[in-house]
Chains A and B, each alone.
Chain A
């Protein structure tokens, strides 16, 4: 039992990180009904952006958030405004395929500039742990991931609940026609929503970069994690996003604990397929 506490603790903390990876994707699905297949790659792009800032200014990666997050807002805004808004319509496929193409472009662009070498955002946090018991250690970096991730999700929640822009975005998502009759420019609203989603991806990218190594091709791996979280929790639900992150991370770490670390991802996918088979709309999702 003692030995189980460590994977559970790590699972919970990692779940917070998974939730922040997925929150942007969940938001975009909820609002624009867009499954952004480039989410993982844009997130990894922000890891590289942070890497550039850190190398340039020699600051702690957490400070690079001040640069990465605003840049990612504009990246998201323009992607939505110039590319995806043009193909939004009744059909689901064209926006999906545009995002897919974008994902490949970002990946190969990163490969061209940064070479296929493994990178990471090094901090002195990485090696610090807080002992909680004889066999139980709390990795400070995981705690930072969890707390920052939680803060981002809370911020997104409050934004949608309390600000004018947030309400306008929700209105546009509930009833596009109605919102536009009330004077909301829905297409611009979608672009803002994408900008916000990409801001969260920016935070996630920096956190992931600090916690794990990354390559130009790691994007799809995190896209699958994000999709896993969103599908388990239910598309477009914020509560679901947190719950999905926890379930996925716990399934992975406990599965790896009982078998071998090589199977960590396999258990995550297994959990995902079980939820997809039994309850395709996710735990907190409405009907689809």
Chain B
């Protein structure tokens, strides 16, 4: 299986890249959402699964960057994809600012700290006249991009995020991260620069999450603080990664598929799909804590995107 790794991945990528040619509108929508959620869940996986930064505040980046896109296109007439890019950088700035406070915290404190930041942003934006309080903004570029263009942007995000996490983990930083995950104190003594590696991953995570959120809001054309900064985003990412397998690159690929399938299937009953996801996630933590791909790897040794060098 591992021998055919690159051909399999190549076929998958070509399949995705040609969706606008062979797929129906519905398939295109499905693949678009799949790529966006894949990118965001890979980034949560990078933070929680590899860097032991259990973030419950991903919605802070999603909302902040989404609003940046809305404000830049509506108020300043910036070209839509440029404003998505700037939104990503805004997201990094937010991450840097947050890190001043929360990087002194570990584990659960970090989780709570990130969440509280997101809640504060929600309060700020819903009380801010400039962004029309809680009513939200429509994103109105002068030339709205076509569905196919948005799809390719999301494909770049999905494939790019997966490639980025693979490259990071294969690099020296990734080696340090994995050592750190196993034993933080010993790895520090061995010369792993923990603080810098963590900060680097936090920034990469916020950048790609922010960019992806920008593409998502170009697609959704409407942003509203109670949805943009809702904890539901992180809930979904956590479930995707846990079901697929935390700390594996393949995990989110499988988990996102299950999530998007379930959420489309139960599109009219969003709460039922969340209820089901919650039950599946708890069952998986209790019975197979490494998730679908982690368990598969333990049982059969299957791993198509393992950052291991052997």
Contact = CB atoms under 8 A, between A and B. Distances in A.
Interface of A: 35, 83, 86-87, 92-94, 96-98, 100-102, 104-105, 107-109, 111-112, 220, 224, 227-228, 231, 260, 262-263, 265-266, 269-270, 272-273, 276-277, 280, 288
Given A263-B123, A273-B116, A98 B272 contact: no
A108 B271 contact: yes
Nearest to A220: B231
Interface in B270-309: 271-272, 274-275, 277-279, 281-282, 285-286, 289
A108 B232 CA distance: 12
B124 A266 contact: yes
A232 B126 CA distance: 26
B111 A276 contact: no
Decide if the interface of chain B is mainly helix, strand, loop or mixed: helix
B120 interface: yes
Given A272-B116, A273-B101, 12 more contacts: A87-B286, A94-B289, A96-B54, A96-B108, A101-B278, A101-B279, A105-B275, A105-B278, A262-B127, A265-B119, A269-B123, A273-B120
B123 A265 contact: yes
A87 B285 contact: yes
Contacts of B279: 101, 105
Contacts of A228: 116
B6 interface: no
A107 B285 CA distance: 19
Contact of B238 (A92, A97, A288): A97
Nearest to A262: B127
Contact of A102 (B116, B242, B271, B278): B278
Contact of A263 (B127, B238, B281): B127
15 contacts: A35-B108, A87-B286, A92-B108, A93-B48, A96-B54, A101-B239, A104-B278, A108-B278, A112-B275, A224-B115, A262-B127, A266-B127, A272-B116, A273-B116, A280-B109
Interface in B111-156: 111-113, 115-116, 119-120, 123-124, 126-127
A93, A260, A266, A273 pick with most chain B CB within 10 angstroms:
A93
A83 B286 contact: yes
Contacts, number: 97
Contacts of B267: none
Contacts of B102: 276
B105 interface: yes
A264 B275 CA distance: 32
Interface residues of B, number: 37
A98 B285 CA distance: 7
A93 B54 contact: yes
Nearest to B134: A262
Contact of B271 (A97, A98, A111): A111
B104 A280 contact: yes
B124 to A, nearest CB: 7
Contacts of B101: 273, 276-277
Contacts of B286: 83, 86-87, 98
B285 A101 contact: yes
A276 B105 CA distance: 8
Contact of B104 (A102, A266, A277): A277
A35 B106 CA distance: 14
A288 B113 CA distance: 16
A93 B241 CA distance: 13
A97 B278 CA distance: 10
Contacts of A105: 275, 278-279, 282
B201 to A, nearest CB: 17
Contacts of A272: 116
A288 B289 CA distance: 27
Given A104-B235, A280-B104, A280-B109, A224 B274 contact: no
Interface in B174-225: none
